[in-house]
Every structure is written in structure tokens, then in C-alpha cells.
Amino acid sequence: MAGDPKNYLHLARPLAPAPIATQSSAVTAPVTVTLHPQALFSILDHASRRPADQDRVIGTLLGTRSEDGTEVSISNCYAVPHTETAEQVEVDMDYQKRMLELHLRAAPKEVLVGWYATSGDLNTFSALIQNFYGQQGEGTWPHPAVHLTVGTKAGQDIEANTYISAPIGVTAERAADSCLFIPVPHEIKYDDASKSGLELIAGARDREDRSQFLQTDVEMLERAVEQVLEMLERVSNYVSDVLDEEREPSTALGQFLLNTLSLAPKVNPEDIEKDFNNHIQDVLLVSYLSNTIRTQIDLSNRLVTAALTMGPGDGAAATAGEGGEGKGQREGGGGGRGGRGGRGGRSGQAGRDQGRREEQ
């Protein structure tokens, strides 16, 4: 899919003479499609969950369209149950409407842009469904509905193709279920955020059970460093081979390497030491401070509950006072007030006990 760039011919799709005279006619500009990995994963998941008797399953594509309709970005999708026999096809339209509403509630910007099918063939049923999706009212009119096919046969490549359609038909009756599918260029865009997730997911592909533990930052760093080391080793092997005249030199590669190596800064050793020490000190300081704060808060939490287990008396008052003053060192007046409150609380409790004893 990301292989040889294919060449696409854009046909301003021929339109049937509109039965209804409408203000704006359908858009005929070229269309390019961007596919989000999330949508693709969802389609693959749906394909693996299909009912045993169905060969292919379909669903709706949601996404955003650029202002003039030339760029369509597919960012979400959901499955629509349908049944297909040799003679007819049934799509649950209520389901499709209701799911569209639900999805629009959660993400109002993602509108209907087309539909997908999990097998690569295009037949009359595809045409029927395509016309349904491209119609006025509930469909994507005046923009063309995008049809995405993802080949999911086990053992073959998973190939994705995108099409838009134009009506074609010999007679008016056959126009409803005939369609000219025009292929349009598509691209799978991986944005930066998905990259981190994708790397972990890809890490699972070589393992038996296809699963992968989430790794800590240090482990990811180790992996990245190992990869860079491996790349460096290959390059240095090549350079030494060239120097020993065992391999052909390439001026372009040499130039590229020179440019890259010249990126290393030439700085004074003392400056490096100074900057390095400053940076390390910053990091260590923040780490030390946060641990101190954590210990302090832990201590204050414990003191609050522990001090009250001791009975009324000077010992308790002293500890409560110390706890208050310990906090006071951090925030001057507030802590002092807290300490006084603590001691006041102690004597208040003692007074209450006394009062109760007197009543009896």
C-alpha cells in the first residue's frame, strides 16, 4: 500500500441528467483520500468478527472533508449489519441511521463520507449500496461517496482501494444498480501521536502469542539506543570497506555522511562541563524536591491520624504542636495557626470528657 506510487487519472465523473432541478449540482472535483490507522484497524477487527456465513461485511465511514471537497480524511468507522444472497442484498438502514446519530453526538465534526467493504470485488450490490450512500438527503450528496475496499483474504496481501462513483446505465431502471467506480488516490497517514502506540503494537508482530507488555521509559530508551548503534555499525562497516577499497564509493553517500557528521557541535570542554553540570543539577534538584514534598505530605497525613490515638495529655499536645510547627516551617503563619488549633483541640477534647463525667 505504501509501495509504488500509482498513477491516477481523474475523470470529472459524468453525471446523470438530474431529475430534480437543484441549485447546486454534484461536485466533480478530484478527490484524494487520507486514511487514519484507527479506521483501518477497526475495519480489520470487524472483518475478523464477521458471521461465519458471510464473505464480506460492510460499514460506514466517517470523517472530515476539506472546504472544497477535494480532500477527504477518514478518521472513524462503524459496522452495519447486512445480508447478502445471490439475488438480493439487505442493509439495515435504521441501524445505520441510529449509529450515525450516536456517533455524531460524540464527535459532531465527523460526518458521513462513504462506506467500506471487506473484500476487493465490486459487483452490482456494491453499486446499489454506493448509490444509497451517495444519494440526496441522507447520503453524502453533493459530494461523492467514497467507497473503500480492504481485501481480507487470509494469505493474500491486505490491499486497500478507494473509489468514487459516477452513475452509469443503459436504461433508467438499470441506473439504480449500476455504477462506474473511479479509483482515487489514497494514503494512510500516521500522525505523531499514533507513532508511539504503533511502535508497541508492531513490537508484538514477531512474537508467538501476538502480545506485548507495555514497556517503561527506560526500556524504550534502551531499544532506541540499540537501534541507533546498529545503524551506526552498518555505516562504519561500509566506510571502512570503502577505505580498504573493497566496496565502491559513492560520492552522494559520502557527502551525506559528511553533512551529518558536521552537525556535531564544536564546543569548549569547559562550556560542556558547565552546561552538563547545570542540567544534571536541575534534574536532581527537582527529583529531590518532589521526593521531599511527598515525604512531607505523607508525614502530615500520618500525624493527623496518629496523634489523635494518643490520649489527652502533654505528650499528645507536644506531638500535635510539633506537627503543627513542622508544617509551619513550610508555610509560616498558616502552620502556626494549625499548631495552636491542634493544642486547642486537645484541651477541647479534655474539656468535653470532663463535662461528660460531671453530668454522670
Partner 1 sequence: MATDPKIADSPIREIQVEALVVMRIIKHSTTSFPTPATGCLVGMDIGSQLQITNSFPFPASNPENQQTNSNPADPYHQSDQVALSLAAPRAKSSATYAGEMIKYLREVNVDAQGVGWYMSCSMGNFVSQAFVENQAFYQRGQEEKTVALVFDVSRSSQGSLNLKAYRLSPSFMAAFKDSKFSTESIQKSKLRYQDIFIELPITIHNSHLLTSFLHQIPAAPPQKTALDFPASLAELHHDPNIASNPLAPNLESLDLSIDPFLEKTTDLMLESIEQHTTEQNNASYYQRSLAREQTKIKTWQEKRKNENLLRTQQKQPLLPEDEWQKLFKLPTEPSRLELMLVGRQVEQYARQVDGFNAVVSGKMFGVRGNLLPGEMA
Question: Could you say which residues in the range 316-335 bind partner 1, by CB under 8 A?
Answer: 327, 331, 334
Based on the shown chain and the rule CB under 8 A, indicate whether residue 301 belongs to the binding site for partner 1.
Answer: yes
- The sheet that has 160-167: what strands, in order across it? 179-184, 160-167, 146-150, 111-117, 58-65, 71-80, 32-35, 186-188
Based on the shown chain and the rule CB under 8 A, indicate whether residue 212 belongs to the binding site for partner 1.
Answer: yes
Based on the shown chain and the rule CB under 8 A, indicate whether residue 256 belongs to the binding site for partner 1.
Answer: yes
Nearer to partner 1, 12 or 304 (CB): 304
Residue length of the chain: 360
Pairing label, strands 89-91, 82-84: antiparallel
Nearer to partner 1, 248 or 314 (CB): 248
Based on the shown chain and the rule CB under 8 A, indicate whether residue 294 belongs to the binding site for partner 1.
Answer: yes
Q: Which of 69, 81, 183, 326 is close enough to bind partner 1 by CB under 8 A?
A: 81
**Nearest approach, Cβ of residue 14 and partner 1 (Å):** 33
Interface positions, 41-60, toward partner 1 (CB under 8 A):
41-42, 44-51, 57
**149: exposed, middle or buried (C-beta count within 10 Å: 0-12, 13-18, 19+)?**
buried
Is 284 in a helix, a strand, or coil? helix
Strand partners, 164: 182
Question: Which amino acid makes up residue 280?
Answer: I
**Nearest approach, Cβ of residue 92 and partner 1 (Å):** 8
Based on the shown chain and the rule CB under 8 A, indicate whether residue 267 belongs to the binding site for partner 1.
Answer: yes
Neighbours of 170 (CB within 10 A): 8
Based on the shown chain and the rule CB under 8 A, indicate whether residue 5 belongs to the binding site for partner 1.
Answer: yes
**Nearest approach, Cβ of residue 31 and partner 1 (Å):** 23
By rule CB under 8 A, what string of x and - marks binding of each residue 168-197 to partner 1?
--------------------x-xxxxxxxx
Based on the shown chain and the rule CB under 8 A, indicate whether residue 97 belongs to the binding site for partner 1.
Answer: no
Nearer to partner 1, 175 or 220 (CB): 220
Q: Cα separation of 181 and 250, whole Å? A: 46
Strands (E), 81-159: 82-84, 89-91, 111-117, 146-150
**230: exposed, middle or buried (C-beta count within 10 Å: 0-12, 13-18, 19+)?**
exposed
**Nearest approach, Cβ of residue 337 and partner 1 (Å):** 6
**Nearest approach, Cβ of residue 175 and partner 1 (Å):** 31
Q: What is the DSSP letter of 186?
A: E
Q: Which of 68, 173, 217, 314 is close enough to bind partner 1 by CB under 8 A?
A: 217
Based on the shown chain and the rule CB under 8 A, indicate whether residue 142 belongs to the binding site for partner 1.
Answer: no
Q: Which of 20, 252, 261, 263 is close enough to bind partner 1 by CB under 8 A?
A: 252
**Four-point Cα dihedral 165, 170, 174, 179, nearest 10:** -10
